[in-house]
Chain A
Amino acid sequence: MLSGTVVVAASFAYLLVLFAVAWYGDRRAEQGRSIIANPWTYAMSLAVYCTAWTYFGSVGRAASGGVWFLPIYLGPTLAMSLSWVVLLKMIRISRTYRITSIADFIASRYGKSHLLGGLVTIIAVVGMVPYIALQLKAISSGYSVLTGSDDSGVFPFATASWFNDGTLYVALTLALFTVLFGARHLDAAERHEGMVAAIAFESVVKLLAFLVIGGFVTWGVYEGFDDIFARAFADPELAALLSLKTASTAGYGGWFAMTLLALLSVIFLPRQFQVTVVENVNEQHLRRATWLFPGYLLLINIFVLPIALGGLLYFGRGTVDPDTFVLSLPLAHGERGLALLAFIGGLSAATGMVIVETIAVSTMVCNDLVMPLLLSTERFKRSDHPDLTGLLLGIRRGAIVVVLLLGYLYFRLAGEAYALVSIGLISFAAVAQFAPAMLGGMYWRGGTREGAFAGLLAGFVVWAYTLMLPSVAKSGWLDRTFLDQGLFGQEFLRPEQLFGLAGLDSISHALFWSLTANIACYVLVSLARVPTGQEATQATLFVDVFSRGQDAPATFWRGSAQVQDLQPLVARFLGAERARRMFETYARERGVRSIAELKPDAGLVQFAETQLAGAIGSASARVMVSSVVQEEPLGLDEVMDILDEASQVRAYSHELEEKSQALEAATGELRAANERLKELDRLKDDFMSSVTHELRTPLTSIRAFSEMLLDDPKIDLKDRTRFLGIIVSETERLTRLVNQVLDMAKIESGHAEWHNSDIDMRDLVGHAVETTEQIFRDRGAVLELDLPDHALHLRADRDRLLQVLLNLISNAAKFVPNDTGVARVRLTCEAGQLRVDVTDNGPGIAPEQLGVIFEKFRQGGDERARPQGTGLGLPISRQIVEHFGGRLWVQSKPGEGATFSFVLPLSPEAGDGPDHAMT
C-alpha cells in the first residue's frame, strides 16, 4: 500500500508536468511554430476517446463479459476507416463558418436557431454529466485501492460529509485546471493549442502505462499469453468468457447496437468534436489519423483480456472489483511503483477526458444557453457594455465549474450503484441522439428547424425515460415501481421493455427506441413544411460546402450596414484591439487601404457575423448583427433565385475556364509546331552550309590548279600531269557529291524511286564482293566472304541494297591497313531476318565518334589520312536499310577494327508496296 501523501504529491506533480506541456504548446503557437501541426499529435489527441472508462472499465467489462468489451473499439475503427469523409465534411463546414461546437453546428444548420442550440446543449450537459462522474469515480476508487483504505474515509481529510469528501476536491482541482487550460483567454476560433498538446501527451502516458501493466501481468505474473489463456481455458467459468455465444445474452443484435453506439460517439461526442473538428489544424492530418487512431486503439486493447483473466485467476471471482485489476494486480505483487504508474495512467485518461469535455460543454453552455438568455434582455442589447470579453470568459469559467460539480453530484447520487462501463454507455446513447440531425443536416437539404427539434426532443425524452431514469431509480433515489409496472401502471410503458420489446439488453433497447423516435420525428416533421429562406440558405451552405466554400460564396443577405456599427459590435465580444486587427486584415484582403474604405456590403456583414459566431455561437451572432444593421428577410423564392444565379455564374465560369484551357492547349500546340519548324529550318540551314562547304572545297582545288596551269605555261610536265590528275579527281568528287546530295534529298523527302523485285541476298552479297575485290587487291589486302548454303530471298530494290553493300565494303577497304589488311563479309539468317556484317581490321572508331558517323558530312578516321569520301555514304545507307524495315549500326573499339552490320526482315513490309510507289 502507498501513503496518501505520496499519491497526492505524485498526482499534483503529474498535473504540473501536464500544465508545462500546455504552456509550452501555447508559447510555441504564439511564436507561430506550432507543435501540434502534425498528423501524429492530431491522432494522439483523438485518443482522448480512451478515458478512465477504457483504462479501468474495459478490464472490468472483459472480466464479466469476455470479448464483450470489443465493440466499443470496433465502432471507432469502423468510423475512422469508413466515415472519414463525414468527418472531413464536418471539419470543412466548421472551418468555413467558424463553428465551435456541436450545438452551434446544429443550430447554425437549421437557420441559426437559438432553440435548437439550447436543446443540444441541454442534451450534451445531461448526457455528459454521468460520463464526468465516471471519471471522478475512477480517480476516487483508484486512490482508495492504492492507499488501501475502504470507500469511506478514503482521503486523509475524508468523512461522510460532502464538504469533506476528497472527490469534491478532485472535481474542484480539475475545474481549476480546465479553466487554466481552456478558458484563460478568448479565442475567436475556440482553438487551444496548448490543451491539445497536453491531451496528446496524456494519450501517450496512458498508453505506455497500460502497456507496462499489461506486460507486467502477462510476462511478470504469468508466463506469456499462452500461459494465461491456457489457464483460463482450464477453468470452465473463465473459458465461457472467451466464447462469443455465451459471453453476451444479447447476441449479435447486442454486438451490432454496441458497435453502432461507439461508432456514433466517436463522431458526435462533444470532446471528440472539439479535438477532431474544432482543434484540427490541417485537413490532411485526418488522412493519417484514419489509421493511426485505430492503431492506438488496437494497442491499448491488446492487454485487456490478459489483465482481466490474470486478475480473475489470481483473485478469484467476487473478491476484488475487476475495474481495479490494473491497480490491484501490481499491488498484490508488491510492485508499488508500478501501481503508482498505473494510477497516473488512469489519472491521465480521466483528466484528459474531463478537460476537453468540460471545455466543449462550457463553450456550448456559454454560446447556446447563457448568451441567448442575456441577449434577450433589453439592457444587454444596448451597447452600454463596450467590452464583453471578460463576461464571456466569466460565463465559461462558471460553466466549467458547474458542469464538474454536476458530475460530482451524479457521482454521489448514482455513481456507487453502477460499474464504469454502464455509466459510459448511458452517455454514449445520449450522444447518439445528435446523429440524425447532424448527418441529415450535412447530406439532406430538406431538414427543417422543427424537424431537428422534434427529433432531438423525442430521442432525448425516450433516452431519459428508458436509460437515465432507470439508472437513477436503481440507485434508490426514485421509486422503482415504475420500472417493473410501467408508468401509471401501464405495462407497455415499462421503461426497459417499452411496448413489450424484451430480450434486448437495456442499452440496445434504449438505443433502438430513442433512435427510432428521433429519426421518425426528424424526417416526418421536416417533410411537413417547406424550408424557409434562412433554412434553405444554411442547408445549401452546409450540403454543398465542398463545391462552394472557397470561391466567393453566394451571399444571402440584403439590407444596409455601416462599418462604424459592425466593428464596435465585434469589439464588444472579442476586444477592441483584436477586432481592429481582424478588420484590417479583411480590408487588406479586399484590396482597400483602411477599414474606413471598406464597402458595407453583404460580404462585410457576413465577415463580421462569422467572426462573432466563433466567439458567441452562430445564432447569437445572427441576433447581434441584425440588431445593428437594417436588413430585409429573404424569402425562399429569393434564396432559390440567388442559388440559381450562383450556379449559373458557376456554370459560366466553368465554361470560361474550359475555354481558356482549350486556348492554352492550342497555344501550346502552336508553339510546339513553331519550334519544330524552327528546328527543321535550322537543320536545313546547317545542311546547306555543310553542302556549300563540301562543294567549295573541291572547287577551290580545281580553280587554283586550273588558274596556275593557265597562267604559267612553263610548268614542267611532271607537275602539269599531277595537277591535271588532281583536277580530274576533284571533279569526280564533285560529281559524286552532287549525286549523293540529290539522292539523300530524294530519300528524305520521300520522292525516291524504289524498284522492288525479288532478290537473293546471297547472290547480291557475292556480286558486291566481286565488284570491290580489285580495290583490296590494289592495297594488298584480303577480302573474305562467308555465305550461308541456301538462298535468302526478300523483296527490295536491288540497286539500293547493292549501294549499301558497296558503301560498307568500300569503307572497309579505305580503312584497312596496307598489306596486312583483312576485311570480312558475312551473311547470316536469324529469327526471320537476314544479317550482314562487314568487319575490318582498321584503326577502329573512337567511342565519341560512333554516334556521329551516321550524321551527314561527318567522316570517321584520322583526318590527315582520311580517304576520299563525301560524308554522305553512311547516312544514305542507313536511310535505305530503314526504308526496308531494317536497322544499320556499328560496333567498334579503337585499335581493334570495326564491324558494320545491318538486318533486314525477310518478308519486308516497307518494301512490299507497289513498285514505283513514290515518284
Chain B
Amino acid sequence: MAKKILIADDEQNIVISLEFLMKREGYEVSVANDGDEAARRIRAEKPDLVLLDVMMPKKSGFEVCQEVKSNPELQSVRILMLTAKGRDTEVAKGLALGADAYMTKPFSTKELVERVRSMLAER
C-alpha cells in the first residue's frame, strides 16, 4: 500500500513542486496550507511522513512538530522540516523539538527524494 505524505507549506509554487515530486515517487499526497490545517490533517490522516515548512501562518512548523511529537497516538509520523531560514539555531531548534530530519530551502530535489525514501524505509 502506498505511503501517505502530507505537504505543509504556504507557498503555492513550492507545494506544486513537492506534490509533483512525491506523486511521481508513487506516494499518496495531501496538502495543508497553514499550521492549523497541518496539525488537523496529521491527526485525522496519520500520514507516514510530513514535509513541514517552518514559517507558516497561524501556527509555525515548530509548534506543529511539538504537538505531533507529544501525542503518543502519532508516534509513527515522521517529520522532515523544511526552512528558508538557514540559521544553525533554527536547525538545532527543529531537531530538539523532535523533527526526524531537516533540510534548508532551496533543496536539491534528488536529495529530498532520497531522504524521504530512506526515512520511510527505516521501519
Q: Which residues of A contact B (CB under 8 A)?
A: 689, 692-693, 696-705, 707-708, 711-712, 719, 723, 726, 730, 863-864
Task: For the complex, give the distance between the alpha carbons of A586 and B21 in Å.
Answer: 88
Task: For the complex, give the distance between the alpha carbons of A708 and B107 in Å.
Answer: 12
What are the residues of chain B within 8 A of A701 when measuring CB–CB? 11, 13-14, 16-17
B11 and A697 contact, CB distance less than 8 A: yes
B13 and A730 contact, CB distance less than 8 A: yes
A864 and B34 contact, CB distance less than 8 A: yes
B11 and A719 contact, CB distance less than 8 A: no
What are the residues of chain A within 8 A of B34 when measuring CB–CB? 863-864
B106 and A696 contact, CB distance less than 8 A: yes
What are the residues of chain A within 8 A of B11 when measuring CB–CB? 697, 700-701
Given A863-B10, A863-B58, 12 other A-B contacts at CB below 8 A? A693-B84, A693-B85, A696-B86, A697-B11, A699-B105, A700-B105, A704-B14, A704-B106, A708-B21, A708-B109, A711-B110, A712-B24
**Chain A min CB distance to B57 (Å):** 4
Task: For the complex, give the distance between the alpha carbons of A225 and B98 in Å.
Answer: 92
Question: Which listed residue, A692, A707, A726, A864, touches B109 by the CB 8 Å rule?
Answer: A707
The CB with the most chain A CB atoms within 10 A, among B20, B33, B34, B58, is that of B20
Q: Could you list 26 A-B pairs, sorted by A, with CB under 8 Å?
A: A689-B85, A689-B87, A692-B84, A693-B84, A693-B85, A696-B84, A696-B105, A697-B11, A697-B14, A697-B84, A699-B106, A700-B17, A700-B105, A701-B13, A701-B16, A703-B107, A704-B18, A704-B106, A704-B107, A705-B17, A707-B110, A708-B109, A711-B110, A719-B20, A726-B16, A726-B17
**Chain A min CB distance to B93 (Å):** 14
What are the residues of chain B within 8 A of A705 when measuring CB–CB? 13, 17
Q: Nearest chain-A residue to B10 (Cβ)?
A: A863
Task: For the complex, give the distance between the alpha carbons of A705 and B13 in Å.
Answer: 9
Q: Which residues of B contact A (CB under 8 A)?
A: 10-11, 13-14, 16-18, 20-21, 24, 33-34, 55, 57-58, 84-87, 104-110
Q: Nearest chain-B residue to A730 (Cβ)?
A: B13
B16 and A700 contact, CB distance less than 8 A: no
Whether A863 contacts B86 in the complex (CB less than 8 A), given A700-B105, A701-B17, A702-B106, comes out as: no
What are the residues of chain A within 8 A of B14 when measuring CB–CB? 697, 700-701, 704
A726 and B13 contact, CB distance less than 8 A: yes
Task: For the complex, give the distance between the alpha carbons of A696 and B10 in Å.
Answer: 14
Whether A864 contacts B105 in the complex (CB less than 8 A), given A696-B86, A704-B21, comes out as: no
**Chain B min CB distance to A367 (Å):** 79
Task: For the complex, give the distance between the alpha carbons of A723 and B16 in Å.
Answer: 9
B85 and A692 contact, CB distance less than 8 A: yes
Q: Nearest chain-A residue to B55 (Cβ)?
A: A693
Whether A704 contacts B10 in the complex (CB less than 8 A), given A697-B105, A863-B34, comes out as: no
**Chain A min CB distance to B37 (Å):** 9
The CB with the most chain B CB atoms within 10 A, among A697, A711, A712, is that of A697
Task: For the complex, give the distance between the alpha carbons of A756 and B9 in Å.
Answer: 44
B55 and A708 contact, CB distance less than 8 A: no
Task: For the complex, give the distance between the alpha carbons of A847 and B34 in Å.
Answer: 21
What are the residues of chain B within 8 A of A864 when measuring CB–CB? 10, 33-34
Task: For the complex, give the distance between the alpha carbons of A692 and B33 in Å.
Answer: 21
Q: Nearest chain-B residue to A722 (Cβ)?
A: B16
Whether A708 contacts B17 in the complex (CB less than 8 A), given A689-B85, A696-B84, A700-B84, comes out as: yes
What are the residues of chain A within 8 A of B13 when measuring CB–CB? 698, 701, 705, 726, 730
What are the residues of chain B within 8 A of A698 when measuring CB–CB? 13
Q: Nearest chain-B residue to A725 (Cβ)?
A: B13
Task: For the complex, give the distance between the alpha carbons of A707 and B106 in Å.
Answer: 11
**Chain B min CB distance to A27 (Å):** 66
Task: For the complex, give the distance between the alpha carbons of A340 and B120 in Å.
Answer: 108
**Chain A min CB distance to B92 (Å):** 15
Task: For the complex, give the distance between the alpha carbons of A689 and B24 in Å.
Answer: 33
What are the residues of chain B within 8 A of A699 when measuring CB–CB? 105-106
Q: Nearest chain-A residue to B24 (Cβ)?
A: A712
Task: For the complex, give the distance between the alpha carbons of A701 and B13 in Å.
Answer: 6
What are the residues of chain B within 8 A of A704 when measuring CB–CB? 14, 17-18, 21, 106-107, 109
What are the residues of chain A within 8 A of B110 when measuring CB–CB? 707, 711
Task: For the complex, give the distance between the alpha carbons of A558 and B46 in Å.
Answer: 95
7 closest A-B pairs (Cβ-Cβ)?
A704-B17, A696-B84, A701-B13, A700-B105, A863-B57, A700-B106, A703-B106
Q: Nearest chain-A residue to B108 (Cβ)?
A: A707
What are the residues of chain B within 8 A of A863 when measuring CB–CB? 10, 33-34, 57-58
The CB with the most chain A CB atoms within 10 A, among B10, B14, B33, B57, is that of B14
What are the residues of chain A within 8 A of B85 when measuring CB–CB? 689, 692-693, 696
The CB with the most chain A CB atoms within 10 A, among B20, B104, B106, B108, is that of B106
Task: For the complex, give the distance between the alpha carbons of A705 and B17 in Å.
Answer: 6
Whether A700 contacts B107 in the complex (CB less than 8 A), given A689-B87, A863-B10, A864-B34, comes out as: yes
Q: Nearest chain-A residue to B107 (Cβ)?
A: A700
Task: For the complex, give the distance between the alpha carbons of A702 and B84 in Å.
Answer: 14
Q: Nearest chain-B residue to A715 (Cβ)?
A: B20
Task: For the complex, give the distance between the alpha carbons of A700 and B12 in Å.
Answer: 12
**Chain B min CB distance to A256 (Å):** 86
**Chain A min CB distance to B58 (Å):** 8
Task: For the complex, give the distance between the alpha carbons of A902 and B38 in Å.
Answer: 40
**Chain B min CB distance to A864 (Å):** 5
**Chain A min CB distance to B46 (Å):** 24
**Chain A min CB distance to B27 (Å):** 15
Q: Nearest chain-A residue to B109 (Cβ)?
A: A707
What are the residues of chain A within 8 A of B84 when measuring CB–CB? 692-693, 696-697, 700
What are the residues of chain A within 8 A of B57 when measuring CB–CB? 863
Task: For the complex, give the distance between the alpha carbons of A57 and B11 in Å.
Answer: 100
Q: Nearest chain-B residue to A719 (Cβ)?
A: B20
Whether A708 contacts B20 in the complex (CB less than 8 A), given A700-B84, A701-B13, comes out as: yes
**Chain B min CB distance to A176 (Å):** 86
A711 and B105 contact, CB distance less than 8 A: no
Whether A711 contacts B106 in the complex (CB less than 8 A), given A696-B86, A704-B21, comes out as: no
What are the residues of chain A within 8 A of B87 when measuring CB–CB? 689
Task: For the complex, give the distance between the alpha carbons of A612 and B24 in Å.
Answer: 105
A692 and B86 contact, CB distance less than 8 A: yes
Q: Nearest chain-A residue to B13 (Cβ)?
A: A701
**Chain B min CB distance to A729 (Å):** 8
**Chain B min CB distance to A688 (Å):** 10
What are the residues of chain A within 8 A of B33 when measuring CB–CB? 863-864
What are the residues of chain A within 8 A of B18 when measuring CB–CB? 704
Q: Nearest chain-A residue to B86 (Cβ)?
A: A692
Q: Nearest chain-A residue to B12 (Cβ)?
A: A864
**Chain B min CB distance to A741 (Å):** 15
What are the residues of chain B within 8 A of A702 when measuring CB–CB? 106
**Chain A min CB distance to B15 (Å):** 10
Task: For the complex, give the distance between the alpha carbons of A689 and B89 in Å.
Answer: 12
The CB with the most chain A CB atoms within 10 A, among B55, B85, B105, B107, is that of B105
**Chain B min CB distance to A867 (Å):** 11
Task: For the complex, give the distance between the alpha carbons of A479 and B9 in Å.
Answer: 123
A711 and B10 contact, CB distance less than 8 A: no
Task: For the complex, give the distance between the alpha carbons of A751 and B108 in Å.
Answer: 38
Task: For the complex, give the distance between the alpha carbons of A552 and B111 in Å.
Answer: 80
Task: For the complex, give the distance between the alpha carbons of A719 and B110 in Å.
Answer: 19
What are the residues of chain B within 8 A of A696 when measuring CB–CB? 84-86, 104-106
Task: For the complex, give the distance between the alpha carbons of A712 and B23 in Å.
Answer: 14
Task: For the complex, give the distance between the alpha carbons of A703 and B18 in Å.
Answer: 12
The CB with the most chain B CB atoms within 10 A, among A689, A693, A701, A726, is that of A701
What are the residues of chain B within 8 A of A693 when measuring CB–CB? 55, 84-85
Task: For the complex, give the distance between the alpha carbons of A863 and B58 in Å.
Answer: 9
Task: For the complex, give the distance between the alpha carbons of A863 and B33 in Å.
Answer: 9
**Chain A min CB distance to B56 (Å):** 8
Task: For the complex, give the distance between the alpha carbons of A221 and B26 in Å.
Answer: 116
Task: For the complex, give the distance between the alpha carbons of A340 and B30 in Å.
Answer: 103
What are the residues of chain B within 8 A of A697 when measuring CB–CB? 11, 14, 84, 105
What are the residues of chain B within 8 A of A703 when measuring CB–CB? 106-109
Task: For the complex, give the distance between the alpha carbons of A697 and B82 in Å.
Answer: 11
**Chain B min CB distance to A476 (Å):** 109
**Chain A min CB distance to B60 (Å):** 13
